[in-house]
Structure 1
Amino acid sequence: MFEACAKFPEPSHSTFFARSMRIALAEAAANPALLSEAQRASSTENYRRHLLAADPHGRYAIAALVWLPRQASPVHAHHTWCGYSVVAGLLTETVFEWDGARDCAQATRTQARERGAVSFVRGGRSAIHQLSNRSEAPAISLHIYGVAGSQMATHVNDIVLAATPALA
């Protein structure tokens, strides 16, 4: 994929790249043997992130996120392109729009994201969201980010202020 999009200054600007990522995420989410028991381990403190793979050239990192009931991400945009698929359970995604005049994000819609749901976005504040597990069962999502594995915790999320309270 990266070689096919080499002429673009950023691979996510290619519709081929975005479509290919969505297909790969959907195929991975459909594989019941994708994650080991250790990669399905949760944490009572917050959703738990397991680094699954990192490109040796620093182009991407793949992680499994395990969500217990009532766990949620902060409201955030991304510094880089990213995609996710729901591997197990049910997540809720709240989508926000950036209000530059008020310097905050405003919730615009909320949707259930069931097993197999896939999303892919470019970096920037045009794609602000929050993921949460509002169900009574654990959920697992697979994420791919356009950063080196060592940068996943620091160079992915752009946490933003929400005009309305964040949803848990």
Structure 2
Amino acid sequence: MELIPRLQKLVDTLNGLFESEGKKDEQQKLSIAGEALKMLVATDDWLPEEFAQSHPQYYQQYLLYCDPQQRFSIVSFVWGPGQTTPIHDHKVWALIGMLRGAERSERFVVASQAQPMKCISRDILFQGEIESLSPSLGDIHRVSNAYANRLSISIHIYGGNIGQIKRHIYDQATGNMSEFISEYSNIPCNSGSCFPTSSACISGNPCPRYLKFCFRAIAHD
């Protein structure tokens, strides 16, 4: 299968970050990948409709591409009106690019044991804008659709196969954390500890067309 050209360009850039000669550090990866992501989300004419479908209750996270060596993954997040995540971390570097609509991000830090978490910033990401996260920069946040009356779509890049990485959700009142694995809305839930925000994990009926493409990409005819 052939990759959609716009996505192929991003994948080529990301592959270049991990070449044996001239490997990039985290900041270089964020900078180079960020510019490539910004180019991708500058035009909203390439994402297939099946990866832009919302759910009435849960935001959706569709795997677009996962590197065969699991060095990075690209995911389409589709937010129904007002939908939000719990406070969570990532454990790897990440980039968010706004393709459609707008996304609200609240960053948090754990103040101290058994104390309320502290919100250190609130930002809104609009179409064409990007944001970077990493454990070294701070990667604990809560994300939501900035609109209460229409869907939003963001494209995320992660420095690993984010659907298989053990991460944490946090209780804002206490800072207590619980482990979870997010998986994907278009890949069946196998871990038993999925984020309770994916229709595939809850219904057990993910889109069968894409089950075999966990480590491949969306394509065009």
TM-score of the alignment, normalized to the shorter chain, above 0.5: yes
Indicate if the aligned counterparts of 1:93 and 1:112 stay in contact, CA closer than 8 A: yes
Equivalent of 2:129 in 92, 95, 117 = 117
Paired residues for 1:11-160 under 5 Å: 11-12=25-26, 15-102=27-114, 105-123=117-135, 126-135=138-147, 136-148=149-161, 152-155=162-165, 157-160=167-170
CA distance in 2, matches of 1:5, 1:131: 34
Cα pair distance change 1:139/1:157, threshold 3 Å: farther
User: Structure 1: which 5+ runs fail to align?
Assistant: none
1:31 Cα deviation after fit: 2.5
TM-score (norm 2): 0.64
Write the deviation string for residues 29-52 of structure 1: whole angstroms up to 9, x where unpaired. 112223011111111121001100
Superposed CA RMSD in Å reads 2.2
Specify which structure has the bigger relative contact order, considering alpha-carbon pairs within 8 angstroms and separated by 6 or more residues.
1
CA distance in 1, matches of 2:159, 2:166: 8
Structure showing the higher strand proportion among its residues: 1
1:26 Cα deviation after fit: 0.6
TM-score (norm 1): 0.82
Indicate if the aligned counterparts of 1:67 and 1:139 stay in contact, CA closer than 8 A: yes
CA distance in 2, matches of 1:5, 1:17: 12
CA distance in 2, matches of 1:64, 1:156: 20
Structure showing the higher helix proportion among its residues: 2
Percent identical among aligned pairs is 25
Indicate if the aligned counterparts of 1:18 and 1:120 stay in contact, CA closer than 8 A: yes
CA distance in 2, matches of 1:33, 1:56: 26
User: Structure 2: which 5+ runs fail to align?
Assistant: 1-16, 175-221
